[in-house]
Amino acid sequence: MRHLDDHSNVNLPLNDLLFLAGDSMPNRCVGGSTPGAPCGSICGSSGTCPGGTCTNDTGRCTDTGAVCCGDGDCGAGTCETGACVGGANIGKGCITDADCPGSTCKTFIQVCPVCNPGTNTCNGGPNNGLACTPQSLNPNGDYPTSHECPPPSSLAIGSLGIAFLLDTGTLTNTAIDVPGGPGVGQANVFCGYCKNGTTNQFARKCGGVSSGSDCTCTVGTACTPSCAPGPGTTTGACLPVTCNPANGNTDCTAAIGHQQCGQRTSGAFTNTAVARTIVETGASATGVTVGGAPVASTLVSIFCIPPSYNLLVDSAGDLPGPGAVALFGNAQLLP
């Protein structure tokens, strides 16, 4: 990293773990020695809460605010997975803030275990009840999450390796038109991955090598026996095959069945293929000194997000494709 008052860059490669989960805590303890802890595995079931009460944390009726697990529990109203935190409809079921005049709608859905700041223990997940340190902010009054309180490993669906290079300068990435190979070509390609140009399915190979064996293991994990040493295989994890759009389809020649270089959708950040250039402008912490006051700075990055090979994730996130970020903050040099 160079001096912050000049031009700086920070390399923070990310490994984004993906989990496919629903509401991890349909019921939670109120009061007692384990406040916030999960109790009961399904909505409405009872559970153990020493000195406290196992309370429905799934839904509230829109007409009365009564606890509910489905519309059948709500007479003339419906059962929704949120409740108004104030206003005229305080405590009543809601979907959006529009259902709560003068207030907001707070969801009951907790897809991730949380680190209870009152007890410094995990609520939910495989580390339920173990010590943790709250790490994230708690928007809407919800408990913060923590890497010490992971979701169950059985819900993992893969990982996304992202080259996250942050810079205080101005970054520019211009797309490239890739000619047709075995399938149709693609305009405005920022991020290259070997794919089938007709079906838009992306290659998954041992070690991420175009000539490697096909594999179907969870992305980013050790893949055995598919990627074990042996004839025609490449030792390593099951990974997407990257390619440089500037080379056309050359980098994908050996990826039989996936010989087109491209991304899921042309362009960036829109469902139309018009984006040609991405520009992110950072700002150095000019004038920062050792022991001095914090100085405002902006770190920016343009990067590629690989496919997860999960239909729900890739269709919702339009993956693989480009990403961009600008992080605003203050830089300070301590003696």
* pLDDT tens-digit map of 104-118: 999 888 888 888 888
Q: What is the DSSP string of 191-241?
A: S-EEE-TTT-PBPEEETT-TTSPB--SPTTSB-TTTTSSSTT---SBEEE-
In-domain check, residue 25: no
Alpha carbon 165 to its chain centroid, in Å, reads 18
Q: Is 264 left (phi over 0), alpha (psi -120 to 50) or beta?
A: alpha
Cα angle at 41 between 37 and 44, to 5 degrees? 95
Domain count of the chain?
1
* pLDDT tens-digit map of 39-78: 887 887 778 889 999 999 999 999 999 999 999 999 899 9
* pLDDT tens-digit map of 275-317: 899 999 999 888 888 888 888 999 999 999 999 888 888 988 8
- Cis bond before residue 225 (omega within 30° of 0): yes
What is the C-alpha separation between 230 and 80, in angstroms, rounded?
55
Single-letter amino acid code for the residue at 287: G
In-domain check, residue 79: no
* Number of residues written out for the chain: 335
In-domain check, residue 164: yes
Q: What is the DSSP string of 109-137?
A: ---S-EEETTTTEEESSTTTTSB----S-
In-domain check, residue 309: yes
In-domain check, residue 70: no
Identify whether the C-beta of residue 44 lies closer than 8 Å to the C-beta of residue 56.
yes
* pLDDT tens-digit map of 202-248: 999 888 889 888 888 877 677 777 776 544 445 578 889 999 999 99
In-domain check, residue 52: no
Single-letter amino acid code for the residue at 214: D
In-domain check, residue 287: yes
φ and ψ of 314, to 5 deg: -70, -35
What is the C-alpha separation between 268 and 321, in angstroms, rounded?
7
Name the residue range of residue 302's domain. 160-172+270-331
In-domain check, residue 320: yes
- What is the pLDDT, as a whole number, of residue 7? 61
- What is the pLDDT, as a whole number, of residue 1? 35
Q: Would you call 285 exposed, middle or buried from its count of C-beta atoms within 10 A (0-12, 13-18, 19+)?
A: buried
Statement: residue 138 has pLDDT above 70 = no
Global confidence as pTM? 0.73
